Amino acid sequence: MSNQHPKPVIGIIDWAKAPLSEAECLIEREVIGDAAEVKYFLCHSDADFTDAICSADALIVWHNTPVTATGIGRLKNCRVIIRNGVGFDSVDVKAARARGIPVCNVPDYGTEEVADHAIALALALCRQLFPLDVEAKRLRWTIPVEKNLRRLRELTFGIVGLGRIGTATALRAKALGFRVCFFDPYLSSGVDKAIGVERVSTLAELLRCADVLSVHCPLNAETHHLIAAPELALMKPSAFIVNTARGGVIAKAALFAALRNGRLAGAGLDVVEDEPLKTAEEAATPNLIVTCHAAFCSVESKQEMRRSSARIARTAVLGEALYNVVN
């Protein structure tokens, strides 16, 4: 009889409704090598966690698969939960901490893609690409949205949260000629001078001056509905709002109402509260561009993200020091 211990198991949890990986997990297996056995599972939520999942030594969890206190309470051997992406609001980090389970994320894999996507949405709004596309395809040649077409260098680009992605977006907006301002109460002094943008001291000040408002903060108890009806009322009726962060930062009902009654000129959303859109009425909201929580996505970014998650999982099962721990 062999005295060898069985290999640790790293479980990869993908969303059953719309899987983002392949069952073979070739990238993860290449990184993890012989350090552990890799198993792939499809789940709608942690209610679907099987005994095999609950016995795994590490879990890599794709977005849209919530891991609640109940699911965490069922884990037997888990040394780390890795959220395969930047945001970790889908994992109950407090419950994990109470169980002594570190939660890690991958904060830097899609910085370029999300910043590019935010700028793309902003440009589509400022230059009214989608309404003009519809008009041209009706075999017409008028400009019905002329009042919403703007000159970029006359506009203020406001950023909520100047982290990695917020900074990348700020530099892109600055290069396009926008005046760039930001609000971030947790950022140390001098960052504005280092990258050549302006800092404002309150969110209200940013909302009042922004012609384009781009959201780049995490979703937590403090930022949930950070922008709701009172905040939207402070913005210019000619302003546009862009969100490539998390849907719950902006109150969906308040934003859609502002678009319907003309209190805002437009919105570009890669994320929405309680995504995806739920009704035809929501989808018909005027001056709204919506993409499919895809800002992070590119061939290159997904490969980078998966490799980073796999490296963290390998580190955990080998008993080495973890990084990107969020709890």
pLDDT value for 326: 93
CB atoms within 10 A of CB 290: 18
Strand partners, 269: 243, 290
If asked whether residues 134 and 78 sit together in one domain, one would say: no
The larger pLDDT score, comparing residue 110 to residue 241, is at: 241
CA–CA separation, 146 and 8 (whole Å) = 62
Based on the structure, what is the number of domains in the chain? 2
165 CB contacts (<8 Å, ≥6 apart)? 86, 111, 114, 115, 118, 216, 244, 245
Residue 3 lies in a domain: no
Residue 63 and residue 292 in contact, taking contact as beta carbons nearer than 8 Å = no
10 with 60: CB under 8 angstroms? yes
Question: From CA 55, how far away is CA 169, in angstroms rounded?
Answer: 41
Q: Who contacts 98 (Cβ-Cβ below 8 Å, separation ≥6)?
A: none
Residues 144 and 76 in one domain: no
For tokens 């995504």, what's the residue?
Answer: 275
Band the pLDDT of 1: cuts 50, 70, 90. Answer: very low
Instruction: Specify the residue for token string 């899987």.
Output: 19
Could you say which of 112, 198, 205, 275 is catalytic? 275
Which of 83, 172, 179, 246 does the annotation list as catalytic?
Answer: 246
Catalytic residue among 63, 293, 306, 314: 293
In a shared domain, residues 85 and 119: no
* Beta-bridge partners for 15: 43
Active-site residue, 246 included: yes
β-pair partners for 67: 91
pLDDT digits (tens, 9 = 90+) for 73-121: 999 999 999 999 888 989 999 999 999 999 999 988 889 999 999 999 9
Residue 269 and residue 287: Cα distance in Å, rounded?
11
Decide if 112 is catalytic: no
Q: Kindly report the pTM of this predicted structure.
A: 0.85
Tokens of 313: 């999982």
Average pLDDT over residues 276-294: 96
Residues 305, 75: Cα–Cα separation, whole Å: 24
Asked whether 92 and 119 are in contact (CB, 8 A), the reply is no
What is the domain extent for residue 308?
9-109+298-317
Q: What is the mean pLDDT of residues 206-216?
A: 98
pLDDT at 20: 86
Peptide bond just before 66 cis, omega within 30 deg: no
Reply yes or no on whether the pLDDT at 244 is more than 90.
Answer: yes
Over residues 28-34, mean pLDDT: 97
- The DSSP code sequence of 223-261 is TTTSB-HHHHTTS-TT-EEEE-S-GGGB-HHHHHHHHHT
User: Does residue 249 sit within a domain?
Assistant: yes
Residue 325 counted as domain residue: no
What is the model's pLDDT at position 4? 64
Residue 326 inside a domain? The answer is no
Q: Are 42 and 115 in the same domain?
A: no
Active site residue 74: no
**pLDDT exceeds cutoff 60 at 3:** no
Claim to verify: residue 136 and residue 241 sit in the same structural domain: yes
Q: For residue 209, is pLDDT > 50? A: yes
Residues 33 and 150 in one domain: no
Question: Looking at the predicted structure, is the pLDDT value of residue 2 above 60?
Answer: no
322 domain residue, yes or no? no
| Average pLDDT of span 254-282 | 97
Residue type, position 86, single letter: V
Same domain, 170 and 257: yes
Q: How far is CA 31 from CA 14, 119, 200, 244, 326, in A?
A: 18, 33, 44, 29, 22
226/119 same-domain check: yes
Residue 246, SS3 per DSSP: coil
Average pLDDT, the chain: 95
21 in the same domain as 91: yes
Shared domain for 46 and 76, answered yes or no, is: yes
Helix (H/G/I), strand (E/B), else coil: 235: coil
Domain of 286, CATH number, reads: 3.40.50.720
